[in-house]
Amino acid sequence: MEFRILIYCLVFLLSLLISYFLTLGAKKLSFKFKILDYPNEERKVHDKPIPLLGGWAIYLSFSLLTLLFVIFFPDLILTANINLSQVIGIIVAGLILMISGTFDDKYNLNAWQQLILTILACLVVVFSGTTIKFITRPGGGIIDLSGSQINFFGQELYLMGAILTFLWLLIITNTTKLLDGLDGLASGITGIGMIILFIVSLFWDMPNSGTSILILMLAGSIFGFLILNFYPAKIFLGNGGSTFLGLAIGTMAIISGAKIATALLVMGLPLLDMVWVIIQRLGKGESPFKHADKKHLHFRLLSLGLSKKQTVLILYLISLFFGAIALFQGTIGKLTTLVILVLFIIVVFSFTYYKNEKIKNN
C-alpha cells in the first residue's frame, strides 16, 4: 500500500512538472508560429494576443509518460481493466484532436470539418476496445450491454455499448470545447473531475487498477498547465486542448468502472449550459454550432458584475461540490443528485437570463 501511494505521488508530481515546462515551450512556439488568440471579437475577454498551443503540453505530458510506463513498468498500467490497445487508442485519438485543433486555431476550419475529425477521434477510442459494458440499475444489479458482440481486429465490441460510448464521448468532447471561455475554466473543472474519478477508482472492484495511474497522469498534466492558464492566463488550451480534455475525462469515466454518473455530476453544469445555449440558438433560428457568442453562463455571470476570477472560482466550487457528493452515494443517490443539479442549474440559468435581459432593456 505504501509503495502504491509513493507511485501515485511520483506520477502526479512528474506529470505536473513535465506539463509545466512543456507549457512554457508551447508558449514560445505559439508566438513563433503566430498561433494566437487575438481579441478581435466582442466575446473575447482578454485584451492582448494569447498563445493557443497549451493543450499540447497536457497531451504530450500524458502521452509520453504513459508510453514510458507501458515500456518500463507495464504491470502498473496494463492491468485487468485496460489493455495496450485501449491505451494506444486514447493516444491516437488525442493526437487527431490536437492536430485538427491546431489547424483550426491557425486556419479556422469550418464546423463540419471539425465535427468529422471529432467523430473520427471518438470512433478510434471505441474501436480500440473502450466501451460501456454495463449500466448500474438504480434498485441494484446491472443492465448487461454485452449482447450483439462483434470482433474488430481482435477487439470484442458490444454493439449497444459501443453506440452509447460513441455518443457519450462526442457529447462530452464538445462540452469542454464550449466550456473553454474564461482563463482556467475548462482545465480547472476537468482537473477537478480527474481528481474525483481518481478517488472513485481507488474504491471500485479492481484493486491496484492501472486506471488510477492514468487518471493521475492526466490530472498532473492538467494542473501543470493550469499554473499558467489560471487568471490572468499566459496561455490558452486551443481547440485541440479543449476537445482532448473532454475525450480524456469521458474515456477515464468509462475505464474506471463506467462512472458516467460521477462524471456527469462534475461536468453537469457545463453540459447543461451547452444544452441551454443550443436551445436558445435554435429558438432564434440560428445554427447551434455555427458561431461562438456570449450566451454561456460564465459570460452572463460576468455581465452581472462578477470578475473573471470570481466567476471561475464559483463554477469550480459548484463542480467540486456535486462531484464530491458522488463519492458518498450509490446509484439512486447519484441520480437524485443529478435531478437536484438540473433543477439548480435551471434556476441559475433563469435568474441570470432574467437579470441580463433586464440590464439590456435598461
pTM score over 0.85: yes
User: CA-to-CA distance for 106 and 32, rounded, in angstroms?
Assistant: 12
Among candidates 277, 269, 309, 275, which has minimal Cα distance to 294?
277
Query: Residue type for 227, please?
Result: I
CA-based radius of gyration for the chain: 20
Q: pLDDT at position 232, please?
A: 92
pLDDT at 345: 81
Half-sphere exposure (Cβ direction) of 294: Cα atoms closer than 13 Å: 15
Task: Provide the 8-state DSSP code for 144.
Answer: E
Partners of 135 in beta bridges: 143
Q: Where are the domains of the chain?
A: 2-260
142: which strand partners? 136
Contact 287, 159 (CB under 8 A): no
149-152 vs 50-51, strand pairing mode: unpaired
Grid coordinates in use for 84? 495496450
Tell how strand 36-37 and strand 50-51 pair up.
antiparallel
**Peptide bond preceding 51: is omega within 30 degrees of 0, i.e. cis?**
no
| Cell, residue 92 | 491516437
Q: Are 257 and 206 in contact (CB under 8 A)?
A: yes
Q: How far is CA 185 from CA 103, 181, 239, 241, in A?
A: 23, 7, 14, 13
State whether residue 135 is helix, strand or coil.
Answer: strand
The three-state secondary structure class of 291 is: coil
How confident is the model at residue 361, as a pLDDT?
65
pLDDT 10s per residue in the chain (362 long)?
677 889 999 999 999 999 999 999 999 999 999 999 888 765 666 668 999 999 999 999 999 999 999 999 998 898 877 889 999 999 999 999 999 999 999 998 888 888 999 999 999 999 998 988 777 666 566 666 666 666 665 666 678 888 999 999 999 999 999 888 889 999 999 999 999 999 888 876 455 678 899 999 999 999 999 999 999 999 999 999 999 999 999 999 988 765 787 888 888 888 888 887 777 777 776 666 555 566 677 777 877 888 889 999 999 999 999 888 888 777 778 788 888 888 888 888 778 777 766 666 66
C-alpha cell at position 131: 466501451
Contacts of residue 80, defined as CB under 8 A and 6 or more positions apart, other chains included, come to: 206, 209
